[in-house]
Structure 1
Amino acid sequence: MQQVYSDIIQYRGKHYDFGYYQGSLLKNSFILPNRKKQWGPIKDRHFIIDHHRIKELLHHYAPGIWEELHGLADALKMNIQEAIQEFGGYYLEYGRSGCSIYTEAHYMVRNYDNAPSTYEGRYLMYQPTDVGYATIGPTMQITGRTDGMNEHGLVMGYNFINRKQSSDGFLCNMIGRIILESCRNVQEAINLLKEIPHRHTFSYVLLDIHGEKKVVEASPRAVVVQESSICTNHFQKLTNENRFRMDDSLRRYRAIEQQSVNVFNPYQAFQMFNRTEYGVFSTKYGAWAGTLHTALYLPKTKNAWFALGGNREPFMFDFDRWLQGRDTNFKRIKGVLSSSEVFVNMKYMA
């Protein structure tokens, strides 16, 4: 068993200043030294080096994030090419993972499953004053998001399908960030997902304040939209994109399907995902498939619930209150994992 935590980061201001602030925090963090140790041997093979292409795409889809990269670069004394490689969301082969999402008209609940050594332990609330919408959610690769909600009540989460036949395009975490910063509702997010280049194959699950909910199956070759309340790690329509081994994905899908008939409110949905006895929460940490966090989002009230590890009560954020300028006084969210590993923000990994 390991005690783990995520730092709560709050910021209001321009993207460049936000990037600089994050860079200042990273100077005193274990995250970058650990990532360098983990990714150094494969960096030259897997990182995209067409910096002009990435600049062009970010200017088109997310000009604020381009400024954020400059702020990170300046704070960390990097050149912009290095910052793009580290934080540009265009970087590296994605490891296998397993995630689960259940959506009703007024909430989305999601388990993010991966290896603890990939997890940054950063939970972030950011309100830009230059361009883009305010967002709340956990980070991935500093600038990206694993899931989240924006000021308009648009909620996003994604599930890994495969990395075969990858192409030139953004990773899931950056696509998720761009959705949240630039889209007001599900239809705008669908339009973006049909246009933006995808590096790997993922399901993007969307919910908005009007109760509109969709699952978007996206690969470098095709993007289709389907109706479903349940999403794990296989496609329902683009079945040729599925992996050969889908046993665990199908098992979690059936577990949600069977138990959701007894779920009548968001708290019961959170328990269905976070309690270890219900079969949705996973302890397969050594296989890149253990549940690291459970997140639940309520678009109409703009509340976000969050827990690290299993059998936990949710930490509840009033995002609407935060949008009115009232910060939370809490600095960390703590949890426990049945794993020998901790998050990369916690200690130097030998």
Structure 2
Amino acid sequence: MYHPRLYGEFYEMGLKYGKLLYDKANFIIPNISTQKMDFGLESYEELKLFYPEVIEEIRGFAVGIKDESEKLGAFLLSIGVFNPTGQCSVFAFKNDNSTIIGRNYDMLFDFKKFTESSLIAPKDKYSYISQSDVFIGRSDGINEKGLSIAMSFVNGTEIQTGISFHFIVRKVLEDCENTHQAVELIQKAKVSTANNFLIADKNGEIAVVESAPQKCIVRRPEKNEPYIYITNQFKTKEMQPFDRGGVEWSKSKERYNGLKEILATVEEMDLEKAKEILSNKCVCLNLKKEKFGTIWSVVANLNELSIERAETKPTNKNYKSETRLDWWLKKR
């Protein structure tokens, strides 16, 4: 897993990281089909309206790798649209005085070599720690305000040119300080695919946004349940017509039910308990035949900004403390 530290103007961050990958890893933009390129170019125009700052970062990155920003943007905005394979498990638990989150990211084992955990601190935005298997876009993260967001794929019935989850997650981390703001941002976005977004903040406000091109519904915890969780299907009646299903191979329902049963027994959550849950065989994927499973795992106390990460299949003992956000907040 790479561990870049990017801060400053958006263009500068892109240029720095693009040049680094070009010089050290001979990075070039992978070839994509005409269908994906056309879709990506149309979505790039939507991204200019939704998130103009990150366009500058894409331009800087393109200069760093000696290529065209439109081509780079089209590639980024086509990822995960036509062949969404990631399968994930996420939960949030609110104690009386703290909010704890846990997240497993499940993907093809071959993607381990592309994973990164980044400190990103854009000028005049919130700084944050976030994980991804693609540069610039994010899959989950925690920002300096104690706001967490993590996505999971849903096999939706439609796609449309628009904003991919990578940029939804990132904009939330940079612009929002609480769950209410994050939910509003996602509801207003023209999303390209179906996803669940689990959002939690240090005040104990936790929610799931079930999002698809056709509709968007906010799901809150059930009565007397101080927790909420997602895997890879929509749970509300309103959103189920937009869920194609077909995720049995990744044990999505088993993972969902596993989280449901385990969380119902927890009176108070801490980081050690969160690690135990994410390592449980009912939640952690290890599909050897498909060469697919959990490739990173994150737990955090949002009130203390205590973050720990396992950069492979998680166990109770292979998490390491994340200190870069604390370093940045003291440095600036």
* Per-residue deviation, residues 168-227 of structure 1 (Å, max 9, x unmatched): 112111211111112121111111111111111010000012110000000000000011
Match of 2:271 among 254, 266, 270: 266
2:301 paired with 1:298: yes
Q: Distance in 2 between matches of 1:61 and 1:297?
A: 29
Match of 1:47 in 2: 37
TM-score normalized with structure 1 length:
0.82
Contact 1:99/1:110 (<8 A) preserved: yes
Q: Can you give the 5+ residue segments of structure 1 that lack an aligned partner in the other structure?
A: 1-5, 328-350
Contact 2:101/2:301 (<8 A) preserved: yes
Match of 1:240 in 2: 241
C-alpha spacing 1:94/1:143, structure 2 compared with 1 (3 Å): farther
Match of 2:178 in 1: 185
- Tell me, what secondary structure is at the counterpart of 2:110? helix
CA drift of 1:245 comes to 3.5
Q: Which amino acid aligns with 2:229?
A: I
Match of 1:10 in 2: 5
Q: Distance in 2 between matches of 1:30 and 1:117?
A: 17
Q: Distance in 2 between matches of 1:251 and 1:169?
A: 32
C-alpha spacing 1:258/1:270, structure 2 compared with 1 (3 Å): same
Match of 1:225 in 2: 218
Match of 1:347 in 2: none
Match of 1:345 in 2: none
Q: Distance in 1 between matches of 2:214 and 2:167?
A: 19
Match of 2:130 in 1: 137
Contact 1:48/1:90 (<8 A) preserved: no
Match of 1:171 in 2: 164
C-alpha spacing 1:75/1:91, structure 2 compared with 1 (3 Å): farther
Q: Distance in 1 between matches of 2:203 and 2:314?
A: 31
Range with bigger deviation, 178-187 or 112-121: 112-121
Match of 2:197 among 189, 196, 204: 204
Contact 2:43/2:162 (<8 A) preserved: no
Contact 1:186/1:206 (<8 A) preserved: yes
Match of 1:107 among 87, 100, 122: 100
2:49 paired with 1:67: no
Q: Distance in 2 between matches of 1:230 and 1:169?
A: 26
C-alpha spacing 1:287/1:307, structure 2 compared with 1 (3 Å): same
Q: Which amino acid aligns with 2:181?
A: E
RMSD: 2.4
Q: Can you give the 5+ residue segments of structure 2 that lack an aligned partner in the other structure?
A: 222-227
- Tell me, what secondary structure is at the counterpart of 1:210? coil
- Tell me, what secondary structure is at the counterpart of 1:77? coil
Contact 1:161/1:241 (<8 A) preserved: no
- Tell me, what secondary structure is at the counterpart of 2:157? coil
- Tell me, what secondary structure is at the counterpart of 1:78? coil
Q: Which amino acid aligns with 1:93?
A: F
CA drift of 1:53 comes to 6.1
C-alpha spacing 1:243/1:32, structure 2 compared with 1 (3 Å): farther
User: What percentage of aligned pairs have identical amino acids?
Assistant: 20
Contact 1:115/1:288 (<8 A) preserved: yes
